[in-house]
Structure formats: structure tokens, C-alpha cells
Amino acid sequence: PTLPDMDADLVDCRRCPRLVEWRERVAHEKRAAFRDQTYWGRPVPGFGPADAALLIVGLAPAAHGGNRTGRMFTGDRSGDILFAALHAVGLANQPTAVSVDDGLTLRGTRITAPVHCAPPDNKPTPTERDTCRRWLDEELRLLTPTVRAVVVLGGFGWRALLPVLGDAGWSVPKPRPAFGHGAHVELAGTRPLHLFGCYHVSQQNTFTGRLTPAMLETVLADAGRAAGL
């Protein structure tokens, strides 16, 4: 199967009962500002080319963002920050993301998450993370020929991804490297992989100044260079 085949299967996934119930309830009840829109209300697939050299790994779709629009980080404040930074460093053709047909394209970059359905309070359970891992395993396997660098947004994604990278054939040091903003680890493999840590683009981090646009752009630019973009 190809990455588009995988994405087509993913959007029908119903393996996590709590998340299926939540994503559909949010899609039905909606937020007042979006009451005229039809919410996606399903698993949100990764976004970006199937031969990406740079992979960005978040946490899970936002209830009224990706779960509404059907595209990662599209239509929420976290995405506003992320896509503005991707555009600033030349990895996105435009600084904004509002809907699946807004014309946004990424250069050599794909965005995904270890959990593909919006969770209550943005907090998936360990069981949900482990259940969704099948998709991340498959995505990494399909991207292995081209991926050269990964930016992980936040500790949840970091901890979810390291075992996946190990199983996909890269050597993950023991003890496993700790997450931190600015962390940079080179993993040996058939082809080496540069792993970068970055604080998550959540409002909790961006409103408080814990993560500034400049900090995010620095990590993305470094990772883009490491990926040969």
C-alpha cells in the first residue's frame, strides 16, 4: 500500500470507542462560531507529500480545528502559529491554513500525529496512544525511504515516536533521549535520521511566551536543513 492508501483506510478507523464518541459528539454539537459548517468528525490523516524528507509530529487533532476541517492543525490557533513559521522558513507556500481547499502546500514536509482523533481535553489515554500506533508504524515504514529529519512538538509525541523509530530500523540510544525544546539527536540507521524536540504549539505555550515564533522558526529551519530541504 501507498501513503494515500493508508490515509484512505485511516479515516474509517473506529478502534477507540471513547474518541469515536467524542469526535462525533463535538462534530454534532459544534462551537457557536462554526455552527453553519459541517465538521469532519473522523480520524484526521497526515498532511503533506508522500515522499517527505521532513516529518512533523504533533499530539492529536483539536476538537474544533482538525476535527472540524479534516486537516492537521487547520483552523485553530496552534495551526496559525505552526503554518506561519513553516511559511517563514520556506516550507509552506502560504502562512495560513483555514480549510482543506485553501491552496496550502508544504515543501518536502509532512505533518502527522501519534493519535489521529480529537481527544477530550487534548489528552489521549495511554491505551489510545498504543492503539493508534499501528498508523504511525505504517506511516514511518512508508516514509523510511525519504525521511531525513523529524520535528516532534511536545513530550507526548516524543515518547510515542521513539519506540516507533526503533522498530522502523533506527538505533534509539538507551536510555532513551529525553524530550526538551532544542533537543537534537542523530539516530543511526540505513540512513541517519535527525530528531529535533520543540515545545508544542499549543496556546498554553504560545500565549505565555514559552514558545515564541522565533524559537519555532529556528527549530524548523535547522530541521529543514538537516532534511536537505
Asked if 132 is part of the footprint of ligand SF4 (rule: CB under 6 A), the reply reads yes
Question: Measured from the CB atom, is 134 or 210 closer to ligand SF4?
Answer: 134
Nearest to 153 by CA among 208, 196, 107: 196
Query: Toward ligand SF4, which CB reaches closer, 87 or 110?
Result: 110
Considering only 1, 4, 9, 15, the residue that binds ligand SF4 (CB under 6 A) is 15
Residue 227 makes contact with ligand SF4 by CB under 6 A:
no
Q: Would you say 17 or 209 has its CB closer to ligand SF4? A: 17
Q: How far is the CB of 43 from ligand SF4 (least distance, A)?
A: 4
- Whether the ω angle into residue 145 lies within 30 degrees of 0, i.e. cis, is no
85 binds ligand SF4 (CB under 6 A): no
Q: Does 128 bind ligand SF4 (CB under 6 A)?
A: yes
* Interaction of residue 43 with ligand SF4, rule CB under 6 A: yes
Nearest distance in Å: CB 219, ligand SF4: 26
Does the protein bind ligand SF4 through residue 16 (CB under 6 A)?
yes
Task: Based on the shown chain and the rule CB under 6 A, indicate whether residue 80 belongs to the binding site for ligand SF4.
Answer: no
Kindly give, in sequence order, each residue whose CB lies less than 8 Å from that of residue 116, ignoring residues fewer than 6 positions away.
10, 13, 43, 44, 45, 60, 61, 132, 135
Question: Of 1, 14, 31, 94, which lies in the binding site for ligand SF4, with binding defined by CB under 6 A?
Answer: 14
- Between 16 and 82, whose beta carbon lies closer to ligand SF4? 16
Helix axis angle for 213-226 and 77-88, nearest 10°, is 50
Site string for ligand SF4, 106-125 (x = CB under 6 A): ---------xxx--------
Report the site for ligand SF4 in 138-197 (rule: CB under 6 A).
Answer: none
Distance CA 118, CA 94 (A): 25
Measured between its terminal Cα atoms, the distance across the chain in Å is 26
Nearer to ligand SF4, 61 or 79 (CB): 61
By CB under 6 A, residue 71 contacts ligand SF4? no
Question: Cell for 221?
Answer: 529551519
C-alpha cell at 160: 510515542
Q: Does 218 bind ligand SF4 (CB under 6 A)?
A: no
Nearest to 225 by CA among 196, 189, 188, 202: 196
Q: Which residues bind ligand SF4 (CB under 6 A)?
A: 10, 13-16, 19-20, 43, 115-117, 128, 131-132, 135
